Amino acid sequence: MEETLGRITGLAGSRIMVTGQNDTNLETALRIGSMVVVRGRESDVVGVVESMELDAVSFQRRIAVTPLGEITGSHNNGAIFRRGVSHPPALGAFVEPATSDDLRSVYLRPTTSNVRIGTLSHDESQPAFVMVDELLSRHFAVVGASGSGKSCAVTLILSAILANEPNAHVILLDPHNEYSAAFGDLANVLNVDNLNLPLWLFNLEEAIRILVRGGTQQEQESQALILKDVITRARRHHAGADRAACGITVDTPTPFLVHDILRFLSEEVGRLNKADGTISYLRLRARLESLREDRRFSFLFTDSLEKQDSLSKLVGNLLSIPVAGKPLTIIDLSGVPSEIADVVVSLSCRVMFDFTMWADPERRPPILLVCEEAHRYLPQDERTDFSAGARAITRIAKEGRKYGLSLALVSQRPSELSLSALSQCGTIFALRMGNEHDQRFVERALPESGYAMLSALPSLPAQQAVVFGEGVSVSMCVRFDDIPLARRPRSESAHFSEAWRVDSAGDDFREEGIRRWRTQSRSA
């Protein structure tokens, strides 16, 4: 018999209480998160140390263990680890530290499709794997404080999957242009310079968010009603008389010309006699004309003067259909004006969902949406000025799996993230989190018992995470593999002590910055 930690002196639901004499020789086996085993005739029950205490009088150890699963068969003849315990241990049974053979059985490479993401934190000789289908089909989340290695973890996970799946369809919402350099030629980067989201693609709620500004609540409601009328007229006008009565509504994604919207607004102003009745029309027209002249909003109008339906092309660019060697689409939101960034997210997610819902199920490819800084678009407090984006992503979280749509949420503030959306994630990668509210929030979303490992979150070093859920055979603390410097996302903090040693920013730098500011362009 291996040296024991003690005997089972209590069983309560999903917890095993172990009592034994203190032994300094077992100090290395007695850590929070360490694996232990209860040997049995039918199977060996594997558990993880959740808490420990030492009686000050008797010097007895008291250890709380959470069962994870059981090993059947011998290590020399095909031992198999399975989650869940079908043969519970008995009172008085001895509890031992898990051996290297036990750990190999628990962390054995899965037989289903899988990718390596790193090694076990406490045993770098043992590789750590995630199961691709289980990870993607049930959504996943990557959460951790700023500087914990969250962006690198996302890059590593996606890179590992894309290396095995060259015809994948992955869409990444990138608010700060971090990931473009990380994926190189594998990515199709859509930004304000090549993004084509003509105004006719937006539904009424999104168009109101873009165009209705100023005035009282009553005046804004008046502008919204006017906008509904003129957009519907413009869609039907462009469709032609033969199709005008074919069910085209304000939200039907058929093209229209912005010129027609302006013309209809002007015509209505001409029909009104009272000056106060024209205010809403004039404000809408002024806002629309102002946006057309603003370089930052040019991607809304690049297609407005062309009598063509570009929806198919947009869907192809967005969803990588066909893949053509670029399985990843990065939507770079860094150049999108902040006042409509949430509208662009709403449109992208809505187009994604609607297309996959109506597409041929026999030919429809599975799609993964990765939402960086998800708390910006899926806030816990749903009482926001514009909730269409949150609803679009939540719809993917709740219904997307029926249509092959998967979701990955990435956030440094999980406590500000919608609990409903996070609870839909079957696998969670939790990196260092010092904020207690964030820790408690993640605990509430746990798909299985993992509280013992979560207690280590405040002290986790960068590049390490606790992983639990459907995508892994058992909860584990992993150290992610290193990423080559050239493939790392641009998320590093500024090196003040180095940058401030020389005065490298001269007149030319200042003048160039002013030029880019005035022209609203980042290009040199």
**pTM of the full structure:** 0.85
Q: Residue 232 pLDDT > 80, yes or no? A: yes
CA distance 341 to 334: 9
* Residue 46 DSSP code: E
Q: How many degrees, rounded to 5, is the angle at CA 161 between CA 160 and CA 166?
A: 110
Check: CB of residue 144 under 8 Å from CB of residue 410.
Answer: no
SS3 content of the chain, % helix, strand, coil (to 5): 40, 20, 40
pLDDT at res. 151? 92
Residue 162: pLDDT band (50, 70, 90) is: very high
CA distance 188 to 389: 23
Cα dihedral 472→474→477→482 (10° resolution)? -30
81: left (phi over 0), alpha (psi -120 to 50) or beta: beta
CA distance 81 to 473: 8
Q: Which residue has the higher pLDDT, 1 or 423?
A: 423
Residue 383: pLDDT band (50, 70, 90) is: low
Check: CB of residue 158 under 8 Å from CB of residue 170.
Answer: yes
Looking at the domain that runs over 6-106, which CATH code has it been given?
A: 2.40.30
Q: Residue 390 pLDDT > 90, yes or no? A: no
Chain segment 326-357, per-residue pLDDT in tens: 999 999 998 888 888 889 999 999 999 999 99
Q: Residue 426 pLDDT > 70, yes or no? A: yes
pLDDT at res. 242? 58
Closest C-alpha to 142, from 494, 445, 484, 451: 445
Q: Residue 4 pLDDT > 70, yes or no? A: yes
Counting residues of the chain whose pLDDT is more than 90, the rounded percentage is 35
Counting residues of the chain whose pLDDT is more than 70, the rounded percentage is 88
Which CATH superfamily groups domain 127-195+310-492? P-loop containing nucleotide triphosphate hydrolases (3.40.50.300)
Residue 501: pLDDT band (50, 70, 90) is: confident
CA distance 185 to 292: 33
pLDDT at res. 244? 52
- pLDDT, mean of residues 378-397: 80
Which residue do the tokens 């790392």 mark?
488
Q: Residue 305 pLDDT > 50, yes or no? A: no
- pLDDT, mean of residues 116-130: 89
**Same topology between domain 6-106 and domain 127-195+310-492:** no
Q: Which residue has the higher pLDDT, 373 or 271?
A: 373
Contacts 24+ apart (CB under 8 A), 222-229: 222/280, 223/280, 223/283, 223/284, 226/265, 226/268, 226/280, 226/281, 226/284, 227/284, 228/204
Where are the domains positioned within the chain? 6-106, 127-195+310-492, 200-300
CA distance 218 to 183: 48
Question: What angle do the packed helices 311-319 and 341-358 form, to 10 degrees?
Answer: 100
Q: Residue 455 pLDDT > 90, yes or no? A: no
CA distance 145 to 411: 8
Mean of pLDDT over the chain: 85
Chain segment 349-371, per-residue pLDDT in tens: 999 999 999 999 999 999 999 99
- pLDDT, mean of residues 124-149: 91
